[in-house]
Amino acid sequence: MTEFAEERADAAGMPPIPEEDVAFPDSPWWEEMLLTYGPGLFGLPVRIWDTATIFLLAALADVCLYKAPGGTGVACVLSATVVGLIVVRRKCSASQALYPAIVVILVGLMAVWRHWWLLEVVGWTSILILAVKLHRPEWQILEALWAACSTIIRAPARLFGHVLAAYVRSSEDETETAGWQTKRIPLRVVLIPAGVCIVFILIFSAANPVIGRLVAALRDNVRMFFECLGDLISLNRALIWLAWLALFAALIRPMTESWLAKLVSKFSATTTAPLQTAPDKGNYAAAFWTLICVNILFLAYNCTDSTYLYFKADLPIGINWTEYTYSGCGWLTMGLFVSTVVLGIIFAGALNFHPGARRLKVISYVWAAQNMMLAIGAIRRLQMYIDYSGLTHLRITGLYGSVLVGVGLAIMVRKVRANRSFMWLARKDILAFCIALTILAVTPNDLLCAKYNVAKVMEGKSRALRPICLKSLSPEALPPLIALLDLQETETDETRAIIVTRGIAGILGQHLVNLEADEAAGWSTWQGSGVWALKHLRAVRKRIHDTAPPREWESARQTLVDNMDI
């Protein structure tokens, strides 16, 4: 059954007509194939409001993002897309759109403050999920994500469906056997009246000078219109228009039929007992001794690690604290992930119902607790490294990643305790990942990094200057740097203070010039963080010029880069 047949039957309050009962009398084979497989592939039939909506959204995207992509433009396109999807769908309740819409609102607000690529990824993914959920509210995150990926793949075909809408129409007569059929309008019905009218217009324009002048003016206006249109349209812009149209066409008619989604939705959330008479002693013994061995191994490691992380024991000769803290973060996170996989394999099936399952679960809880100690140790290592070398985007991502793996371990413990199925675990893990990605996207990373690093520089830790000097700074990171212009008042090392203050003045001065130049840009690039930064930098313009004149900004900045560790 096609997705349109289901929608039409639901709207009319009638049972859908099975595909095998649909007849196509006197139709060529290609037309019968189109009518049979067209709805699933092209999303037919398409209403005039669907086509109008995708053109309006594509025009808005072109205005907001083609010449000057930026935060406010992205927020407008995302918001308009959500409204368009809900209005076109019409038969949806607020609860279906609530959670994806909330995410889009958060992303839009953050884009108005500061735009970066992860915001767009999260925003468009949420809109894809929203488009699917409006048609399939019963689908959960796993099925919705699969349908979203399939929707993107089918986007060109969905756009072509709007072209076919001129050939295919929906049946208004409920007594007809087919829910939709082809439009059989002969070409002469259009061409003959148009041709006759054009002939008489030319005759009247030749016979009457007034009519001739009006026709000439109309011809000139049409020519000017196409000339202006040619100046606006380029090959690159036309391709971008096609991409926008395909995307919005896919969102209007998302993927709502999938054998894989149906298969996944049939899986139970709880593991069922296997049909066997005697439990497998070999698998139980392997799982039992695996858990015993890893518990002993983790206990030894955690005890060793704690002596250095918490009790500040002296490291062996040849190993410094930077190497010790930096090397372990990624590998310990990988160890936590492997532990989650091992627990998932052990309790994937029959061992949940073994007579000794209670003992296995108790031992697994002990191992999970040791994994939590490992996760805390990984976060502690990362905190020590940040304290020494400063805070960056990547280190914030590492902190979030460590917490996410710990959450995944907690989800695994809940699965083991409640005998949940693998499909339940997959849904919860994907949901946790999506939530973590959203939180990371809306976190003001640059502002947090700048505040932390400035505080460390003021404490005398010069390595915190590295993220300030070597990383590309967004506007929200600039106001916290103003505090470093006062470093000479609190620092005893005058040489270092002069290098830092002059270098920071050079950085702030160059950004001030760039921000003032960006004021003339289009409204779609407007960002609240840029206005906030410009206000603060203008307030200290005189101090910046007094610390380092404009002609010395670049040399002062380079001197700071060359002497960051002084």
**Contact between 461 and 399 (Cβ < 8 Å):** no
Helix (H, G, I), strand (E, B) or coil at 319: coil
Rounded Cα distance between 498 and 496, Å, is 5
Question: Global pTM?
Answer: 0.81
Integer CA distances (angstroms), 497 to 460, 547, 557, 561, in order: 10, 11, 14, 14
Helix pair angle (141-153, 259-266), 10° resolution: 170
Helix pair angle (71-89, 117-135), 10° resolution: 0
DSSP label at residue 420: B
Instruction: Say what the pLDDT of residue 95 is.
Output: 62
Question: Exposure string (b/e) for 416-439, b if CB count within 10 Å is 16 or more?
Answer: beebbbebbbebbbeebebebbbe
The number of beta carbons lying within 10 Å of the beta carbon of residue 447 is 20
In sequence order, which residues have a C-beta less than 8 Å from that of residue 361 and are 6 or more positions away?
347, 416, 417
Helix pair angle (235-252, 155-164), 10° resolution: 90
Rounded Cα distance between 373 and 130, Å, is 38
Rounded Cα distance between 520 and 499, Å, is 33
Rounded Cα distance between 206 and 141, Å, is 68
Q: Which residues face 420 on adjacent strands?
A: 270
Identify the segments of the chain with pLDDT beneath 50: 1-25, 170-179, 491
Instruction: Say what the pLDDT of residue 19 is.
Output: 44
Instruction: Say what the pLDDT of residue 328 is.
Output: 67
Instruction: Say what the pLDDT of residue 20 is.
Output: 42
HSE, side-chain direction, 13 A CA sphere, residue 167: 10
Secondary structure (H, E, C), 8-52: HHHHHCCCCCCHHHCCCCCCCHHHHHHHHHHHHHHCCCCCHHHHH
Helix (H, G, I), strand (E, B) or coil at 476: helix
Q: Which of 57, 40, 33 is nearest to 5 (CA)?
A: 40
